[in-house]
A and B are shown apart, each in its own frame.
Chain A
Amino acid sequence: MYMDGFMKEYTQRDYVGLEELVGPIFIIRNVHNVGYNELVEIIDDEGVPRLGIILEAGKGYAVVEVLKGTSGLSLKNSKVRFKEKPLLVGVSEDILGRVFDGTGNPIDGMPRPFYDEYVNVNGLAINPTARDYPENIIETGISSIDVMNTLVRGQKLPIFSGSGLPHDILGTQIARQARVKGESFCVMFVAMGVKFDTARFFIRSFEESGVLERVTVFLSLADSPSIEKTLTPRLALSCAEYLAFKKNMHVLVIMTDMSNYCEALREVSTIRGEIPARKGYPGYLYSDLAGLYERAGMIKGVKGSITQLPILTMPNDDITHPIPDLTGYITEGQIVLERELFGRGIYPPIAGLPSLSRLMKDNIGEGLTREDHPALASQLFACYAKVKDIRALASIIGEEELTPLDHLFLKFGDEFEKRFLNQGHYERRSLENGLDLGWEVISILPKDELPRIREEMLKKYYKPRKNES
C-alpha cells in the first residue's frame, strides 16, 4: 500500500554499507537525524527495495528491522534510505472489494487503488470522553450468537477456538451474513499466518456468495515474514478507521488467527533480545494487543463504527494460555468453541456457559430487538447450565436414577443443541426465528422451571407441545 506512487510523501537520504546483520535486524553507523520508529528503505545488491523500521535511534547509529527479511543483503553494498517519517498507509473507499497481501499490495491482478490520504499505521488512542457507548446489534444470522451472545456495533468480541475446529468456516459465514439494519456496512477480513489453502477458501467463499464487493481481504500467508504479520492487522484497522470515522460506514473487522499474530510478535521480540514474560511472550503483549483491539468502537457525533471479531486458536485448547487470557481481559466478552460439541457434529459448536457478550445487556429487549430477548437468553443459559449438572450426575449414578424432571432437562439439552445451536453453513436464521426456536425448545420444560421469565412473557410466547400437555 505504500510501495509506490506516494513516495513523494517522504524525503530521502541515502547511506551505503551496514555494520551488522542479525536475523531480520541490521545496525548502521555514522547516520544522523534518524527518528525512532521511522521508515527506512533498504536497496539490496540487485537494486530491489525493501522496507524497514527503526527500532532504536542512537547518536550516530540506528537499529533497523527489515520487514521482508534480510536474506540477500550484504554489509558492503546495501543502500539505506531514511524516510524521516513513520510508516504510512494509504486509505480510500476504493479498497472495498479488493484483495491485498500482508503489506497492502494488491494481489487480485488489478491495479493499485487511488488513495485519498495517508495515515500512520499505528493509529492514535481515542480519547475516552470522545467515545460513544456501543449500541445497536449486528445480526449475524447465527442464533447462538444473535440470541445468546449478541454482537453489538463497536464491540470487540473474539472467537476462542482450537486447532481443527471450524472457526474459519464460522468466520466466513459471519462475514457473508452479517447485516446492520439500513446502513452502509462492510467487512475487513484480515488473515495472518494462514495456509494458502485456507486463504483460497476465504476468497472463493466471498466470490461465490457475491459479497466480495463489500469485503476487503488482507492476506498474510503462513510463510510471510513474521514482522509482516505483525503489521497486517494495523494496515487493515487504519483502513477501517478511515471508512468508519471519515466515511460513516459500519465496519466489521474479522481477524484470524490472532495466535499467529502473537507467535510472530514473540519471535520478533526474541530476536530483538527483549526480556520475556510469560511463556516467552514479551511483557508488552497486553499493551500491544490492546493497541489493536481498542481501535474498535464508536465516536460521538460520527455515524460509523468499528466492530471487531478476532479469531484465535487456543494452544492445546487451554483458555488460560496468555493469548486467549490477555485477549479476554481486553475484549468485551468471548465466544468459545467447544471440541465436544464439534465431535457430536453440531455446528457452530459454540459452548454455552463460557461464552459471554458483555455489551449485550444494554442493547437487547423491547424497542431494540424483541421484548422477550433478555429473559429468554438468560433462562436458556440457566437451563443449559442445569443440563450440564444433570449430565454430570447421570454419568455417575446412571440415567435411570434421575427424576422425571431431570429427564425433561436432558431432553431440553438435546433439542437445544441439535435444533437451536445447530445450523447449516449457509443457513441464515433471522433473530426473530432464532428467538422463536428458543421458545420452542425451552417449552419442553414446565413453566415453574423458568423463574427468570416474567408471567406476561410466558403467556405470550410459551408454547407447550400438544402431545405432552
Chain B
Amino acid sequence: MQKVAGKVYRVVGPVVEIEEVSFLRMLDMVEVGEFHLVGEVVRLIKDRAYVQVYEDTTSLKAGDVVYTQGYPLYVELGPGLVGEIYDGIQRPLSVLKEKEGVYINRGVHVNALRRDRKWRFIPVIDCGHTINEGDVLGEVQETPLVKHRIMCPPGIKGQLKWIIPQGDYTVDEKIAVVEKEDGVSQEITMCQRWPVRKPRPYKEKLPIGEPLITGQRVIDTLFPVAKGGCVAVPGGFGTGKTVIQHQLAKWSDAEIVIFVGCGERGNEMTDILLTFPKLIDPRTQRPLFERTIFIANTSNMPVAAREASIYTGITMAEYYRDMGYNVALMADSTSRWAEALRELSGRLEEMPLEEGFPAYLASRLAEFYERAGKITTLNGSAGSISIIASVSPPGGDFSEPVTSHTKRFIRCFWALDRDLANARHYPSISWIDSYSEYIEDIKEWWHKNISEEWLSLRYNIMDLLQREQRLQQVVKLVGPEVLPQRQRLVLEICSVFKNAFLQQFAFDPVDTYSSARKQFLMLKIILQFYHTSDRLLKKGLRIAEIKEKPVYQDIMRMRLKYTEQELNKLEELLKKVEAMDSEDL
C-alpha cells in the first residue's frame, strides 16, 4: 500500500525537502526515513517537495527514503473517540504510554481507534432502502452519555444491499454493503477517515437561536454565547484563561465537548485528566469524562503537530455535529497555534508580515472559525459547533495580530483584565471591554424559558456598571465621601454585583455552576435591592443603615449559600428585598 515518494534532499528542523518526487499532491501525508516520521506536503516545486514533519527530525539524512499512502492527513472517526486523549495528530496518548512508556518517542504508529474493542451495533434501517450520504445506519452506545450514530460516509449513496444484524463488532468489521448508482458495491465499517483540513459537508447553515448555557454568571447573563457561535477569550498570563476554558469544558450544556490543549502546560492537561473522571454532570449525573474528547499537544511536543491539533479537533467536532449533536470545542490556546504557523512559515522561508506571522494568518483563522455554526446535517437533523478559543496576546496587548484578526471572525469577546486578576476577582472578564453580538439572537430563548424581563434587567445592570465606571474616576480624585448618597448607592450596588454575582469560585462546589434560573433570580434580587434602597434613600435612610439590614448579608452570600435545589429560598429573598421599605417606616 505504501509507495516510495522520493528521497530526502535536505533537513532543516521540522522542514524536510524531498527530491525525485513524481506523484505527490499538496497536503499528502508522507512517512520519512527509517523511523517513518509522519509529515505533510506543504509545497511542491518541479520535482521537489517540502514536507513539514510532525516529529523530531534528529538524525534524518539526505538520501533517506520517503513513503506515501497517497492521501492527505486524516483522522479516524468512529466509536471509541469519546473519553480518549490524543496528541495533535490523533495518536492516543494512553496507548502510546502502554507501548512506549513515560516519554513520547518518535516514529510510533498506532491506530486512533482501538481495533480489539467490540461495540454493540444496533441497526436502525433495513436492507433494500435507498440511502444517502450521512444517513444513519445504526447506533452504538459509545458511553452511557453518548449514542454514537453510525452514518453512511459522505460520497456514498445507493441501495443498502446488506446490513449486519445486531451484535458486537470491532470498528474494522464490515457492517453494511451499499450498491452505488454505478453498480459498484461499497463496504461500510464503523470507522471512517476524513482529511482534517477539509470541512465535512452539510446541507445548510441555520440561524442561531439558543444560548450555550455555561453556568458561569458573567458569561450567561452579561456576555452570552450561542450554540453554534464563536468566542475569543484573550488575556495575558495569569488572568485565568485556562480556568475559564476548564469551567466551560465542565459545565457548558453541549452534548459533546472537545478540549484541545494546544501548546499549553503539561501539568494543566494532567490536572484535567485527573479531575474530569471525578466530576459529575449536573444534568445527567454521569461523569463528564463520558462526553469529552481530549487533544493534548503540550508546548514541548513537536510544533508541527501543534499546528495540526486544531484541525484534528474541529474535524472530530464536525463528525459528532453530523450525528445531530451540539458540540463545544475549546481551543487553548489559538495563539500557540498561530505561533506554530509562524515557526513553520519561517522554516519555509516565506515572506513575513507583522511580528513575523505569515500573510495567510488571517485566512487560516477565518477558515477555522467558519467551521463553527449551526447546520442542517446531510440526513436532515440539526447540529452545531461552538468554538471557545483562548488567545494569549504577548504582553496582554490586544492590538497584536492574532487578537486583532481573531476579532474579525468571532462575535463574542471575553476580554480578561489584568487588574481584576491581580485583585483576585475571578473570572476576570472585563464588563467594560467585553461584548457579545449574540444577545439579540438568544433573547427569545431566555424570554420563553426563564423570564420576559431578562433583556431589560441585563441592560439595567450594564447601565449601572457604566455609570459606576464614570463615578470611579471622580472617586479616584476626591474620595468617595463627597459623593451624594444616591450616587454612592450606585457604587455600592455595583460592588455588591461584582462580589455577589460576577465573582464566581471555580473551586467551590456550590458556586462553580449556576443554572440560568439561579442567575436570573440573583440578578433580579440585586436590581430589586437597588430600586428599594433608592426609595429608602429618598425617605431619608443612609447607605450605612441599609447595609446593616439582614438581607444585605444574605445577598452577599447567596451565591455560595443557596444550591440549585434551594432556588425557592432565593425567591423568598427576593420577596424580602421587595418588602424592605415597608417594614421600617
On whether the beta carbons of B266 and A59 are closer than 8 Å, the reply is no
B368 within 8 A of A: no
A130 within 8 A of B: yes
On whether the beta carbons of B238 and A58 are closer than 8 Å, the reply is no
- A129-B97 CB under 8 A given contacts A275-B346, A325-B237: yes
A-side contacts of B395, CB under 8 Å: 319-322, 325
Q: Looking at B85, B261, B300, B422, which has the most chain A CB atoms within 10 Å of its CB?
A: B300
B296 to chain A, nearest CB (A): 5
* C-alpha gap A359/B8 in the complex (Å): 45
28 example contacts (A-B, Cβ-Cβ < 8 A) are as follows: A32-B63, A33-B63, A35-B59, A56-B10, A56-B11, A57-B62, A58-B9, A59-B10, A60-B62, A86-B58, A86-B59, A123-B103, A125-B266, A126-B266, A127-B103, A129-B93, A131-B267, A245-B102, A282-B346, A283-B342, A286-B299, A287-B263, A290-B300, A294-B266, A297-B267, A320-B395, A361-B507, A393-B479
Q: Which residues A123-155 have CB closer than 8 A to chain B?
A: 123-134, 154-155
A94 within 8 A of B: no
On whether the beta carbons of A128 and B93 are closer than 8 Å, the reply is yes
On whether the beta carbons of B267 and A133 are closer than 8 Å, the reply is yes
The interface size bin for chain A is 35 or more
Binary interface encoding of chain B residues 287-315 relative to chain A, with 1 for a CB under 8 A from any of its CBs, else 0:
00000000010111101000000000000
Binary interface encoding of chain A residues 261-303 relative to chain B, with 1 for a CB under 8 A from any of its CBs, else 0:
0000000000000111110001110110011001101010010
* C-alpha gap A159/B449 in the complex (Å): 51
* C-alpha gap A401/B238 in the complex (Å): 35
A-side contacts of B575, CB under 8 Å: none
Given contacts A37-B59, A57-B10, A277-B355, 18 further A-B contacts (CB under 8 A): A32-B62, A34-B62, A36-B61, A59-B63, A60-B62, A127-B100, A128-B298, A129-B85, A129-B94, A133-B267, A133-B270, A154-B267, A283-B342, A286-B263, A290-B299, A328-B238, A332-B267, A393-B479
Binary interface encoding of chain B residues 316-342 relative to chain A, with 1 for a CB under 8 A from any of its CBs, else 0:
000000000000000000001001101
* C-alpha gap A36/B349 in the complex (Å): 18
Closest residue on chain A to residue B61 by CB atoms: A35
* C-alpha gap A291/B266 in the complex (Å): 11
B-side contacts of A385, CB under 8 Å: 422-424
Binary interface encoding of chain B residues 115-134 relative to chain A, with 1 for a CB under 8 A from any of its CBs, else 0:
00000000000000000000
On whether the beta carbons of B10 and A287 are closer than 8 Å, the reply is no
Q: Looking at A60, A124, A274, A294, which has the most chain B CB atoms within 10 Å of its CB?
A: A124
A-side contacts of B85, CB under 8 Å: 128-129
B103 to chain A, nearest CB (A): 4
B269 within 8 A of A: yes
On whether the beta carbons of B104 and A286 are closer than 8 Å, the reply is no
B397 within 8 A of A: yes
A430 within 8 A of B: no
On whether the beta carbons of B12 and A125 are closer than 8 Å, the reply is no
A354 within 8 A of B: yes
Interface size on B, residues (CB 8 A): 69
On whether the beta carbons of A283 and B339 are closer than 8 Å, the reply is yes
B352 within 8 A of A: yes
B203 within 8 A of A: no
A381 within 8 A of B: yes
B-side contacts of A294, CB under 8 Å: 265-266, 298-300
Q: Which residues A378-417 have CB closer than 8 A to chain B?
A: 378, 381-382, 385, 392-393, 396-397, 401
* C-alpha gap A295/B298 in the complex (Å): 12
Q: Which one, B346, B355, B479, contacts A401 given CB within 8 A?
A: B479
* C-alpha gap A126/B270 in the complex (Å): 11
A-side contacts of B93, CB under 8 Å: 127-129
Q: Which residues A337-370 have CB closer than 8 A to chain B?
A: 353-354, 356, 358-359, 361
On whether the beta carbons of A36 and B58 are closer than 8 Å, the reply is yes
Chain A to chain B: the 7 pairs with minimum beta-carbon distance, closest first: A320-B395, A290-B299, A277-B356, A58-B10, A35-B59, A328-B237, A124-B103
* C-alpha gap A359/B270 in the complex (Å): 12
B1 within 8 A of A: no
* C-alpha gap A457/B340 in the complex (Å): 49
B235 to chain A, nearest CB (A): 11
Chain A interface (Cβ < 8 Å from any Cβ of B): 32-38, 55-60, 85-86, 120, 122-134, 154-155, 245, 274-278, 282-284, 286-287, 290-291, 294-295, 297, 299, 302, 319-322, 325-326, 328-330, 332-334, 353-354, 356, 358-359, 361, 378, 381-382, 385, 392-393, 396-397, 401
* C-alpha gap A15/B355 in the complex (Å): 41
B65 within 8 A of A: no
On whether the beta carbons of B103 and A125 are closer than 8 Å, the reply is yes
Q: Which residues B1-17 have CB closer than 8 A to chain A?
A: 8-13
B19 within 8 A of A: yes
B547 to chain A, nearest CB (A): 12
B450 within 8 A of A: no
A-side contacts of B57, CB under 8 Å: 36-37
Q: Which one, A55, A322, A359, contacts B267 given CB within 8 A?
A: A359
A-B pairs with beta carbons under 8 A, tally: 200
Q: Which residues B345-382 have CB closer than 8 A to chain A?
A: 346, 349, 352, 355-357
B384 within 8 A of A: no
On whether the beta carbons of B339 and A127 are closer than 8 Å, the reply is no
Binary interface encoding of chain B residues 475-509 relative to chain A, with 1 for a CB under 8 A from any of its CBs, else 0:
01111000000000000000000000000000100
Closest residue on chain A to residue B424 by CB atoms: A381
* C-alpha gap A401/B478 in the complex (Å): 10
B274 within 8 A of A: yes
On whether the beta carbons of B265 and A397 are closer than 8 Å, the reply is no
A-side contacts of B8, CB under 8 Å: 59
B-side contacts of A329, CB under 8 Å: 237, 392
* C-alpha gap A35/B59 in the complex (Å): 4
- A284-B303 CB under 8 A given contacts A127-B96, A154-B267, A320-B396: yes
B545 within 8 A of A: no
Q: Which one, B97, B296, B343, contacts A283 given CB within 8 A?
A: B343
B-side contacts of A123, CB under 8 Å: 103
A-side contacts of B455, CB under 8 Å: none
On whether the beta carbons of A57 and B61 are closer than 8 Å, the reply is yes
B42 within 8 A of A: no
B404 within 8 A of A: no
B-side contacts of A125, CB under 8 Å: 103-104, 266, 298, 300-301
Binary interface encoding of chain B residues 160-182 relative to chain A, with 1 for a CB under 8 A from any of its CBs, else 0:
00000000000000000000000
Binary interface encoding of chain B residues 43-71 relative to chain A, with 1 for a CB under 8 A from any of its CBs, else 0:
00000000000001111111100000000
A-side contacts of B422, CB under 8 Å: 353-354, 385
B-side contacts of A321, CB under 8 Å: 395
A-side contacts of B107, CB under 8 Å: none
* C-alpha gap A52/B237 in the complex (Å): 37
On whether the beta carbons of B423 and A275 are closer than 8 Å, the reply is no
B-side contacts of A34, CB under 8 Å: 61-62
B199 within 8 A of A: no
A-side contacts of B476, CB under 8 Å: 392-393, 396
On whether the beta carbons of B9 and A127 are closer than 8 Å, the reply is no
- A333-B238 CB under 8 A given contacts A128-B266, A131-B270, A274-B346: yes
